[in-house]
Amino acid sequence: MKVLVVGGGGREHALVWKISQSPLVEHIYCAPGNAAVAKLASCVDIGVTDLQRLARFASDKRIELTVVGPELPLTLGLVDLFESRGLKAFGATQKASEIEGSKAFCKELLKRHGIPTAEYEVFRDRDRAADYIRSREGPLVVKADGLAAGKGVIVAQTPKEALEALDRIMVEKEFGTAGDRVVIEDCLTGEEASFLVFTDGETVLPMASSQDHKCIFDGDRGPNTGGMGAYSPAPVVTEEVHRRIVEGTMLPAIQGMTAEGRVYRGVLYGGLMIHNGIPYVLEFNARFGDPEAQPILMRMKSDIVPFLMACVDRTLGGMKIEWDARAAVCVVMSSQGYPGTYAKGEIIEGLDEAESMEDVFVFHAGTKLQGENIVTNGGRVLGVTALGQGIPKAIERAYQAVETISWEGAHYRKDIGKKALERLG
């Protein structure tokens, strides 16, 4: 079969890498792809928001399955367009992807269906939002309602910081129209985890647990990013916590979406805070996490394609995923200045050495080919991912690979997986 993957980041490189291992697949296209994806797939110069061209390409090439990576084409209705033309696409419809496209919608869905989350209020008026902030005690989280590439969430320890965050979002428009409306919620404490499931709108099939590292600097300091690293499994997700997540969070969300006429198919990603063994939803995303996809897919032993097809065809019931018992750790290497402004075009050295290491794979997120050199072309540049017998060994192997790679201004956190080590003792 022919498969098209939409996107060009680390998540899409991981998806192409995993799909390429399937005996069911004869050819993979990726739109637009990147420098490394081109080694596994035919890259097509079509942007992720050019829905009509994507649909025409899929039709002309007789693509049998399209896998949508990023959230933006989902919220613009790419899956709906494909379905209207009789094309199979893995991903949430426009109405279903509002679970990520609007944080206000997501919070209201959680409230309607009794899914644990933080107390919150939604505001369109800046002054009313400011009054609410002044009335609250304790740390608050201020969120731009719309899509902001994982950066529109600001944790404020004091009312002053919360007011500054509010003005960044609603007055200075740091995140554009995504900040026309804000969600202000109480700041939950505990340990975060990422929990992804396949779903066909009825069955929920969990993937391996993982944990992301959002902040740019060690010790969870600095501004939020799209993610600076991840590991799988996450020790905080014990068997009991796993059960509570599935039964009290993921299933009610899928059932609630169906009841509201928004049948959800594809991947549902829960960003969770685990407090005293109880999972609370911080956010839902309508796609694979990035960088969580990298360690999760490294650990997935089963062929991914039957699961993607089953979600589309609504035949997921009874299927099981086989997982590698080893742990996986992904360390993201970013450009200096990210998540703010950063330079592009820096020559990357040491990739061959890193990629020659056993149980290591370097997923490209923001790169391009310039002559004979691979150069930086984004904020998050690489996701260096390694398998190991347990998290300590996977951490060691990932950082060994990271240390072989360099470019002017390369940055990475030195503490990916530290929370897992603390739990493991």
Nearest to 88 by CA among 110, 64, 105, 104: 64
What does the pLDDT look like over 188-235, one tens digit per residue?
999 999 999 999 999 999 999 999 999 999 999 999 899 999 999 999
Residue 306 phi, psi dihedral angles, 5° rounding: -60, -30
Answer yes or no: do 204 and 304 share one domain: yes
Establish if 105 belongs to a structural domain: no
Answer yes or no: do 291 and 352 share one domain: no
Look at residue 151 in the predicted model and tell me its pLDDT.
81
Look at residue 425 in the predicted model and tell me its pLDDT.
77
pLDDT at residue 424 is higher than 90: no
What does the pLDDT look like over 390-411, one tens digit per residue?
999 999 999 999 999 999 999 9
The enclosing domain of 290 has a CATH number of: 3.30.470.20
Answer yes or no: do 160 and 207 share one domain: no
Domain residue limits at 66:
2-93
What does the pLDDT look like over 293-332, one tens digit per residue?
999 999 999 999 999 999 999 999 999 999 999 999 999 9
- Domain count within the chain: 4
Burial group, residue 35, by CB count within 10 angstroms (0-12, 13-18, 19+): buried
Establish if 107 belongs to a structural domain: no
Establish if 50 belongs to a structural domain: yes
Answer yes or no: do 180 and 199 share one domain: no
Look at residue 166 in the predicted model and tell me its pLDDT.
97
Report how far residue 251's alpha carbon sits from residue 238's, in angstroms, rounded to the nearest whole number. 18
* Helix, strand or coil, per DSSP, at residue 210: strand
- Residue 149: pLDDT band with limits 50, 70, 90: confident
pLDDT at residue 150 is higher than 80: no
Q: Where are the alpha helices (DSSP H) in 136-199?
A: 159-170
Report how far residue 47's alpha carbon sits from residue 130's, in angstroms, rounded to the nearest whole number. 38
Answer yes or no: do 65 and 8 share one domain: yes
Establish if 239 belongs to a structural domain: yes
- Residue 387: pLDDT band with limits 50, 70, 90: very high
Sign of CA dihedral 5, 7, 12, 13: positive
Q: What pTM does this model have?
A: 0.95
Answer yes or no: do 278 and 198 share one domain: yes
The enclosing domain of 166 has a CATH number of: 3.30.1490.20
Establish if 352 belongs to a structural domain: yes
Establish if 144 belongs to a structural domain: yes
Please state, rounded to an integer, the average pLDDT across all residues of the chain: 97
Nearest to 183 by CA among 169, 164, 172: 169
Nearest to 150 by CA among 330, 10, 348: 10
Establish if 319 belongs to a structural domain: no
Look at residue 264 in the predicted model and tell me its pLDDT.
98
The enclosing domain of 73 has a CATH number of: 3.40.50.20
The enclosing domain of 348 has a CATH number of: 3.90.600.10
Answer yes or no: do 342 and 253 share one domain: no
Establish if 114 belongs to a structural domain: no
Q: What share of the chain has pLDDT > 70, as a percent?
A: 100
Last residue of a domain, one of 284, 313, 342: 313
